[in-house]
Structure 1
């Protein structure tokens, strides 16, 4: 606690007056979005949709024209809430084009904090479409970027040691280095082509299962707004999103977060794919064609290999042996051990789909269809009551109708979908601008236990769009130009059993955040979050698990201040507990201090953190976004008793070249080993190092 008290003293400078003023925002909303997402799925580690905010770099060099931007363009910023996008579109329709970016202050939901965050990425005027640019010019001219990245863990992990006498299991076949390479050519935001390659830690490199080098390769060519009729063409790897995500949503689908108004899926239908997630994308060709000024048609075809757990045939009949069966699709994309390699590219997945969309200045309505075919039957390896309604077989067909329309200050949206077995799922929402200072979000969802879709990612408590009925209510109030209150309440019911929950169950969650920002260099927020839902707990007596309510309560105080144009300090305190009626209550806290030094006119900058944490175990853990190498996101969870630090260095002293380096270490005081299985380290620390080169030409 003495260390914690010493670290708390670093917060005292925030109480003083500002010494300088700057237009740069003191915090970034994408940090909270990713942090909340990983906490909601109870995962940690590297975030593999690593280029999700890549378009921000483009908008920094080519500001988005606020007068010409449509809903999809504004959503691509990732910095505006759905209600802010609605208010901006309404304002333009009623008052005409903006004269200056500072006119945003006249739009009800745009407070000073939001305006300052988007200022580096937006402009007024200068965004006219140039349909006269030839394809040859776009292919030959533009900007080229090359990224080379390396990561590894310094301590020896069990997966890289030989099996001892009498030991069973498997070890990693590759070395502990992680390599990443990406090349991208872009012309404005209308054309891009390039490739991505990655080797994860433990995977072989130029040998064994990867004789051609990297384990994962991806390439794409994407053309956007080539003419009034050719809206988009995608070749190679691409992402597709239909409606509110009930039948298909490729890429990152954010869930509940402190951005309480962001409940609407508004991603563009077709997008280039440049991330390293090896499961959630399409490979083939797709196009969006404008049939008229208001009607457009999107068609897609994808054929790709998928990792899967195959069942070995237990028959000598050749015809029956050819009927392959798979128990699950591999979502991790790791191929380090013989068993993992055996699952790699085990089956093929064919995807055909289309969307017919009618657009209007006040909204749209779209009909979506999707056909999926696997060359192996999905089956249940160990059938259980909780999974008896999951999809089995090799062919699945989905159809849906989605809509969005604006009426005054109200935005109605939703999607209703049907799977091949006749089950109907629906989600419907409403965004309301009740007053210049108050916005409201409402979403009602109903996903039957037998609804089936392979790539459904709707806004919900759980993923998959199945076995859930719920109501979400969010509110944001701006009682004063320097204050913002945001909160949501979500309640849900699972009408059937779930994994590790052996009965129908209910749950609810609420979250509230009060934010204060002063001038242009200080921001503070206090947040409270409480979640209660069912879980199985081992009983001391008897063979059956007990189903009890688990409560997770956390509160957070966050302070950020620019003490000089080149220096920012951020401090955070997390306190919380996890409890149920059978196990002992687990409590804990985490506290950290960040230093961000980015001098103007000097090529070297750095960010650093030192954190202390003390919790009773994994059940009480705190997720915290970390600054990392460009387009790399790490969100570790702090638990047990220990400390963590990281230092990132960035050098831009050579024309068109950016050099980055990073070191991070976690120390557990109350543990003698770190991790488990092949990831286990015989020691109390885990140290990661990394470096990256970015070259623009």
Structure 2
């Protein structure tokens, strides 16, 4: 018997994202999944590309689904179970697929207001976000605006686009703001993409669509201008042109020292003070299972860099391939930019029940990482060499095991670490169902050399161990989730040890029109000689991926409501607070309508 859809909800997404530490912006995968939730994929008519958007499905799962549709119509979750797809995987899909056609939606309006008590004294203390998407025939258009707390400009950040899609030669065309994703993301990829995840053999591989409107609230590194995807048979040409303004920090010589990626613009002098011009083209061959591609681009800033290793103007080329039509799927990319080289290669192997992936990468120091985001152990991926090995094991129908090992080094100096440093990351997650209960056990161990200040500031060996147990149980219309977490941080050279524990209890209720999630969290961790932190993924209103951070001693809680006013109109609200700490209350209100 399969688990009910209520059991997982947002927990399937938490499994993907909880490996990340500090995250507040919705990354592109989170955004894609949020859109699919609002308009689920019809599993009987979906293409291979659409099914690849669901990170829980393996290549073998997708092949099973597509082949089975030739002989039958899939009409229930039991049909997927009969295909041999793991029960844990099937339940993770509940919010994202349907078995029959749904009415097409042509207009979506999303409005969100956020209030943070800690920022209530700032001028214009509300955070405001709105997104309008509309569709007519082959045309789509969208407008997004956002204002952060403390910003006086009511439209501090905006995005807009007009898109044309067809099955002809001009398959995709965008005027306005957009993003590119080529190969494995060394030159072009969503800046809020993911690398490591609890889905150890699927998420590390980049499978984004090449050209997409920019609908993220991340306020930098979007492209602005035009791009087109011209397709004939199996070949595609994607020319692109962009000229946009960036927020940068300049020194006394008006040279760029860094870019402001926080999105918070309290100093108007640092807003839109650098112009970036970029143009180029990509050529791709794609036969459905295999993709080969290359691209050329030229980029120029209107200011020089204070770092003389970075050039104001440069050209970039890359070659990439995704070969999935064989027993050993391969993916790779090599790029040359600003006379520096970066490369990545990976292979998948193993059978359906024992999937493995091996990935190696090498990125030169000061490689331009402005628009790229390949697999890496850090946000700015230059100056990194690493080896990743991931495994997914399906020992039984109702059990799933994911684990990975990642070894990396930063072979040259970094901003704080004035010497080469190394690190490693080991992760294991076991998920199993016993009767009406589901358990998920997670262990993660990180070891790295890090610049840490105690009595003196210096590079120290740092070890972090996380043990976590999650338990779901179904009680009528209510689903309960319990978590117990223990973390240990250790500096072996100084013999300094810090520990922390966290417990929470969560209740979910879902009726035909109303959904309620209530949670209370109790935590305790040391603050001296260094602060031990708990990172916890929280449910939030649609469109936000929130990872809350807790340290010290305290109790926190939140209440999340979603009410369907009409079939296509949803009102969402959330209130969160810390009981023993002042000025920690946060309020969220969101209205989503689709027609």
**Do these two structures clear the TM 0.5 threshold for a shared fold by scoring above it?**
yes
Q: Distance in 1 between matches of 2:362 and 2:71?
A: 40
CA distance in 2, matches of 1:73, 1:655: 25
Q: Secondary structure at the match of 1:534?
A: strand
Contact kept in structure 1, 2:33 and 2:96, CA below 8 Å: no
Cα contact 2:25–2:217 (8 A) shared by 1? no
Deviation at 1:517, TM superposition (A): 2.1
* Contact 1:50 1:633 (C-alpha < 8 Å) held by counterparts: no
CA distance in 2 between counterparts of 1:403 and 1:260 reads 21
Q: CA deviation at 1:456?
A: 2.0
Could you say which residue in structure 2 is the equivalent of 1:376? 303
Output one character per residue of 1:250-269: Cα deviation in whole Å (capped at 9) or x when no partner: 24211212111121011000
Contact 1:52 1:252 in 2 (8 A): no
Q: How far is the alpha carbon of 1:616 from its aligned partner?
A: 0.5
Q: 1:286 to 1:25 in 2, by over 3 A?
A: farther
Which of 146, 152, 159 in structure 2 is aligned with 1:198?
Answer: 146
TM-score, with normalisation over the residues of structure 1?
A: 0.78
Match of 1:332 in 2: 262
**Which residues of 2 match residues 486-525 of structure 1 at below 5 A?**
486-518=402-434, 522-525=437-440
Per-residue deviation, 1:572: 0.8
**Corresponding residue of 2:520:** 610
1:381-400 mapped onto 2 (5 Å cutoff): 389=309, 391=310, 393-400=311-318
Aligned residues: CA RMSD: 2.7
Residue 536 of structure 1 is aligned with which of 437, 451, 455? 451
Tell me the number of residue pairs that the alignment of Structure 1 and Structure 2 aligns.
586
Pick from 62, 87, 92 the counterpart of residue 60 of structure 2. 87
1:370/1:563 Cα in 2 relative to 1: closer, same or farther (>3 Å)? Answer: farther
Match of residue 596, structure 1, among 508, 512, 517: 508
Cα pair distance change 1:284/1:231, threshold 3 Å: same
Partners in 1 of 2:3 and 2:322 — Cα distance? 41
SS in structure 1 of the partner of residue 198 of structure 2: coil
CA 1:493–1:62: 2 relative to 1, 3 Å:
closer
The residue aligned with 1:298 is 238
| Partner SS state of residue 275, structure 2 | strand
Shift of 1:152: 1.1
Counterpart residue number, 2:177: 237
Q: After superposition, where does 1:532-611 map in structure 2 within 5 Å?
A: 532-538=447-453, 540=455, 545-564=457-476, 566-580=477-491, 581-582=493-494, 584-600=496-512, 603-611=513-521
For residues 97 and 514 of structure 2, the distance between their equivalents in structure 1, rounded to whole angstroms, comes to 27
Distance change (3 Å), C-alpha of 1:652 and 1:122: closer
Which residue is equivalent to 2:132?
Answer: 183
Looking at structure 2, the residues matched to 596 and 68 of structure 1 have their Cα atoms a distance apart, in angstroms, of: 30
21-30 or 359-368, which moves further after superposition? Answer: 21-30
- Pick closer, same or farther for the CA change 1:696–1:546 going to 2, 3 Å: closer
Higher strand share: 2
Aligned to 2:331: 413
| Counterpart position of 1:463 | 379
Asked whether the 8 Å contact 2:7–2:479 carries over to 1, the reply is: no
Question: C-alpha separation between the residues in 1 aligned to 2:396 and 2:5?
Answer: 20
Q: Give unpaired runs (5+ residues) of structure 2.
A: none
Show the counterpart of 2:587.
Answer: 689
Structure 1 gaps of 5+ residues are 1-17, 128-140, 161-171, 205-209, 314-323, 381-387, 669-682
Residues 60 and 352, structure 2, Cα contact 8 Å, conserved in 1: no
Name the structure 2 match of 1:441. 357
* 2:7–2:474 contact (8 Å) kept in structure 1: no
SS state of the match for residue 597, structure 1?
Answer: strand
Larger Cα-atom Rg: 1
Partner-residue secondary structure (3-state), 1:99:
coil
Q: CA deviation at 1:153?
A: 1.9
The Cα of 1:103 is off from its aligned counterpart by 5.4
The equivalent of 1:112 in structure 2 is: 87
The aligned counterpart of 1:247 is 187
Equivalent pair of 1:51/1:274 in contact (CA under 8 Å) = no
- The answer as to whether partners of 1:405 and 1:412 remain within 8 angstroms in 2 is yes
**TM-score for the superposition, normalised by structure 2:** 0.91
- Say whether residues 1:64 and 2:42 are aligned partners: yes
Q: Secondary structure at the match of 2:557?
A: strand
Q: Flag the 1:417–1:548 CA change in 2: closer, same or farther, 3 A.
A: same
How many Å separate the matches in 1 of 2:4 and 2:366? 54
Displacement after TM superposition at 1:289 (Å): 0.6
User: Structure 1 residue aligned with 2:390, among 453, 468, 474?
Assistant: 474
Alpha-carbon displacement from aligned partner over 1:498-547 (angstroms, at most 9, x marks no partner): 2222211211110111110246x542111111000001244747xxx443
Q: Hey, which of these two has a bigger chunk of helix by percent?
A: 1
